[in-house]
Each structure stands twice: as C-alpha cells, then as structure tokens.
Amino acid sequence: MDNKKVYSWTYDWVNDLLYGGLFTPATLNYDFGFFKFVGNYIEANGRITSQEIGPASRWDNLEFNFDQTNSNGLYKSFLLGKRRIGSEWVLLDSLIQPNYDLSSVNVKDFNYIKLRFDLVDSSFGAGEPMKFNSLKVNYEYLPEISVIPNNFTFIPDSMLHGLPVQMDFKVNNVGYIKADSVRLDFYHNLADTIFYSTYLNVDPDSSASITHTISTNNLLYTAPVSTIDVKVIATPKNEEYYTFNNMTNNYFYVIRDSAKPIFNITFDGREIINGDIISSEPEVVITLEDNSPLQLDSTFFTIVHTFKNVPKVIKIPGQDIKYEYTPYPNSKAVITWTPKLEDGRHVLEVLAKDASGNFFDSTSSRSVFYVYNNPDLLQVYNYPNPFSDNTYFTFEIRGTIPPEELKIKIFTVAGRLIKEFELNSSALQIGFNKIFWDGKDQDGDDIANGLYFYKIISKHGDETKITTQKLAKVK
C-alpha cells in the first residue's frame, strides 16, 4: 500500500480495527474507499539468543523447554560455538530435540557456546503465544590457579654465600575442578633461564605445596649483600579463567664472604725462615683453610719455583704435586709438593685465594732456602758459652735426609765421659738443629765449673763425621 494515497486514519478501539481513508484527486475518476487493518496483533516472528556459556573444560549435554500449549507457533533451535582462534561464532548444529549431547563438541576448538531460537506464529493472535521456560547446559567448569607473595617464603631469608636456602611455595586452586599438571617455573634476577621447574596437581578449592633447596654455590656476587629476586610462573595444563594471578615473586639475601682464608706452608713439617737449609727431597705442604662453604679449588693457587733466576709455574696437580680438599664445615685445601731439588738457592712463591676472591694476604708467601745434596755436619756450636745453668748445642745438617744416628758426648778435660745424647733421625732435620742440655751429668748432678769438651758424631750410611768443640761452665 502506498501511504501517500491514504488521506486519513481512524482507529476503532472497540473492535480493535484501523481504517485508512483513500484520497482521490479531483482530476481522476475513482470512487472513494477505505483500507481496514487489525489494530493490535501478536508479532508473527521473533528470535531468542542465550548469553555466552563457558568457558568450559568439557561439554556434557543441554536441555531446553518451550510451552506450546494452545499455540499455533513453531520454533527452530540452533547451537553455535565460538572459535578459540579468531573468536568467530559458527553454527555447530540444528537442534531437533530439546535434549542434546554436547560431548562431541571439542573444547579445544570451542570453549564457548550459545543457543538461538527462531520463532514463527502467523495466527495473528488466534492461539496462545509460545512461552520459553528454561535452558540448562551441563558442562565442566575450569580450574583457577592463584599465587601470592605471602605463600612464597625462603628459610632463612639471609644466608652466607655458598650455604643452601630452603624455598617453600604454595599454589591455590580457587576453581571448581582439579588442576592437573600445573607447571611451576622459577627464575631469579641473575639469569634469564629457569633454574628450577616442577609439576603439581591441585584439587578444587584447595592448595598444594613444594619445597626446594636453592644452592648458591654457582652464583657470583660482587656486592657485600646481594638481593636475589625469585619469580615463579604457574602454567596449568588446561585453560583457566584468568592468568593475571599466575605470577608472583619474592626475594632473599646472600651475604658475600669477606673473611681472609688462613694460609700456612711447611717444609718437612716445619716452618722455615728465609735462608734456611732444607732437604733436597723435601715434603712441602701448603694449606689454605676457609670459613666459607664454597669449595676451594686448585685453580685458586699460583705456585712459582725459581732456581738459578729462572721462574717456573708449577701445575696443580702434577707429577710431583697433589691436591686434596676437605669440604665445609672443615673447609681445607692441602697441596703436597715432593720435588727433587738441585744444590743452590731456591725461591718458592705462593699466591692463594678462596672462592669469594679473598686473598690470604696482600702479598704472596715467599720462601728463600738452600739445598745441599751431599750429607755434611757444619756450624757446630753451643749457646750460651760459657753457660751458668744450661745451654743448647746447635749444628747444621745438610743432605737429602737426616743422619741415621747422631751422638753428643761431653768430656772433662781429663777425658772422662760425663754425659751422652743419642738421637735418631726422627729427632733431627735437614738444616738448623738445636739440642737442649740442662748442665747435669749422666747421674743427674750439676757439673762443676770449669772447661769441658764435647763431640758431635753423625752417621750417614757408611760415612761418619765428628766435630769437637769446647764449652765452659761459669757460675
């Protein structure tokens, strides 16, 4: 109908009719007329669309209900799914029955669905309108992982570099279903890679915990106190509602070891002073003790042996040098060097530090010593001389090993033996030796004032050396 031909409208509210009077121009030979319409009527078609349903971890089934009592209307129902990739809504199926099995809908492709109902009623009110009563969709909900700093702790929170730190972490699942195989990846601010990873299963409305020991041995610290910021990312195997609460962080402190290690060096079990004579086949023991739990390594030592002004760096370990380490809490490195040395002047320099870079001293240890391979007995004296109560017999032994036997015999000027010392090799050493005498004779009596003679007799294999000297007692 062309509205331009309708001249006037009249509504009959008693009979619910609408009349339109036609307009006829004077130039046309047409009769005047009316159009008659129903005033109010039920709309002939419509559409109902449900809200988005999901996300789901599994689709089970659905059912809906229409009341068509005394109705002439019809409806069609459609199942739509939202693509996970691209978020496009596509038609999955046309529903003939009010019950539908959703198990064939793959949640990996469609994690949201909705239903659409198209309704048609052409009776114009001749029957009752259709009534949509209910829609029920059964599906499995998602888990919801949550991590917070209060559930992330370190015991202790401050630790000496090298000692372990215990890390405790708890994961919450505030969702409705179990979260399987939640992956936890831990990072710290000194590296870009994961330093620890593990998996947890977390029941619904529950929590699960892990404990892990963090070793600080392989981490390098330059500041006296270093902040180690640890970040954790929780990644569930399947989808969850939100991901903003899947990451948290906390931190602990590592204190760098600043104490100097304790250094010592001995030659055949004794400390020497520069200029001493040692065996040509000595056992040189170098020790470094440290209070840090970090392991002492042979690379922390530099040993240089100089002979005839030619320095040589000794490789550790080597043919005549070995390295041993006792771990924390009795952290100790022992280097044993057993060389065969030529006659002459030798210099041994040692530089050593611990794993934190602390040197035992601002300078290296420098030992200057002499070696004489041929056995000999020299520098025989007693001190003091004259003496009043007691004195020391001093002498110098040269060679590779001390003599098998050494005797000190004390005589009167008449030749009578009044005191004798017998010493084996264990009581002697290459280099300087000192033997105490209390001034008493063989019977334990104090000797009288006067002049005496003493002989020192040393035996190296088949060779015997004898040195005679005088001593006097004046009291």
- Kindly report the three-state secondary structure assignment for every residue of 381-429: EEECCCECCCEEEEEEEECCCCCCEEEEEEEECCCCEEEEEEEEHHHCC
d(CA 400, CA 429): 10
* Model confidence at 357: pLDDT above 60: yes
Q: Distances in Å between the alpha carbon of 18 and those of 10, 32, 43, 449?
A: 6, 17, 17, 161
Q: What is the chain's alpha carbon radius of gyration, rounded to the nearest angstrom?
A: 52
| Of the listed ranges 115-119, 188-192, 288-292, 435-439, the one predicted with least confidence | 188-192
User: pLDDT-based confidence at 27, cuts 50/70/90?
Assistant: low
pTM, full prediction? 0.66
Q: What is the mean pLDDT of residues 26-48?
A: 71
Model confidence over 334-355: pLDDT tens digits? 999 999 999 999 999 999 999 9
User: pLDDT-based confidence at 51, cuts 50/70/90?
Assistant: very high
Determine the straight-line distance between the first and last CA of the chain, rounded to whole angstroms: 157
Model confidence over 403-438: pLDDT tens digits? 999 999 999 999 999 999 999 998 999 999 999 999
Beta strands in 189-320 (DSSP E): 196-202, 206-214, 225-235, 247-255, 262-267, 276-278, 284-289, 301-307, 310-313
DSSP 315: P
Q: Distances in Å between the alpha carbon of 178 and those of 53, 143, 232, 238?
A: 20, 6, 21, 10
* Model confidence at 41: pLDDT above 60: no
Choose between 1 and 49: higher pLDDT: 49
Q: What is the mean pLDDT of residues 40-64?
A: 88
Q: What is the mean pLDDT of residues 277-292?
A: 94
- Identify the pLDDT of residue 282: 94
- Identify the pLDDT of residue 229: 95
Is the domain spanning 376-473 CATH 2.40.40.20? The answer is: no
Q: What is the mean pLDDT of residues 120-137?
A: 84
Q: What is the mean pLDDT of residues 360-384?
A: 93
Q: Could you give the percent of the chain with pLDDT greater than 70?
A: 95
User: pLDDT-based confidence at 16, cuts 50/70/90?
Assistant: confident
What's the mean per-residue pLDDT of the chain? 91
- Of 60, 58, 110, nearest to 88 by C-alpha is 110
d(CA 369, CA 431): 10
DSSP 318: B
Choose between 287 and 29: higher pLDDT: 287
* Model confidence at 460: pLDDT above 90: no
Superfamily of domain 145-255: Immunoglobulins (2.60.40.10)
- Identify the pLDDT of residue 250: 96
Q: Distances in Å between the alpha carbon of 472 and those of 24, 394, 407, 422?
A: 168, 15, 20, 22
- Of 79, 100, 99, 101, nearest to 89 by C-alpha is 79
With a CB cutoff of 8 Å and minimum separation 6, the contacts of 41 are 124, 125
Superfamily of domain 262-371: Immunoglobulins (2.60.40.10)
Q: Which position has the token pair 């924390």?
A: 328
- Identify the pLDDT of residue 77: 95
Is the domain spanning 45-140 CATH 3.40.50? The answer is: no
User: pLDDT-based confidence at 122, cuts 50/70/90?
Assistant: confident
Q: Could you give the percent of the chain with pLDDT greater than 90?
A: 77
305: β partners: 312, 348
Q: What is the mean pLDDT of residues 118-126?
A: 78
User: pLDDT-based confidence at 40, cuts 50/70/90?
Assistant: low
Q: Locate 434 and state its tokens.
A: 């000192």
Choose between 214 and 9: higher pLDDT: 214
Cβ-contact 113, 79 below 8 angstroms: yes
Residue 46 region by backbone torsions, left for phi larger than 0, else alpha for psi between -120 and 50, else beta? beta
Q: Distances in Å between the alpha carbon of 10 and those of 20, 37, 121?
A: 6, 10, 27
- Of 243, 141, 245, 237, nearest to 181 by C-alpha is 237
d(CA 168, CA 151): 8
d(CA 361, CA 274): 18
User: pLDDT-based confidence at 78, cuts 50/70/90?
Assistant: very high
Domain boundaries, the chain: 3-34, 45-140, 145-255, 262-371, 376-473
Q: What is the mean pLDDT of residues 53-72?
A: 93
Q: Distances in Å between the alpha carbon of 85 and those of 49, 89, 92, 110, 408?
A: 22, 11, 16, 9, 103
- Identify the pLDDT of residue 45: 83
* Model confidence at 135: pLDDT above 60: yes
* Model confidence at 24: pLDDT above 90: no
- Identify the pLDDT of residue 125: 65
d(CA 331, CA 289): 6
Q: 145-255 with 376-473: one CATH topology? A: yes
Q: Locate 38 and state its tokens.
A: 């129903």
DSSP 25: -
- Identify the pLDDT of residue 29: 61
Residue type, 34: F
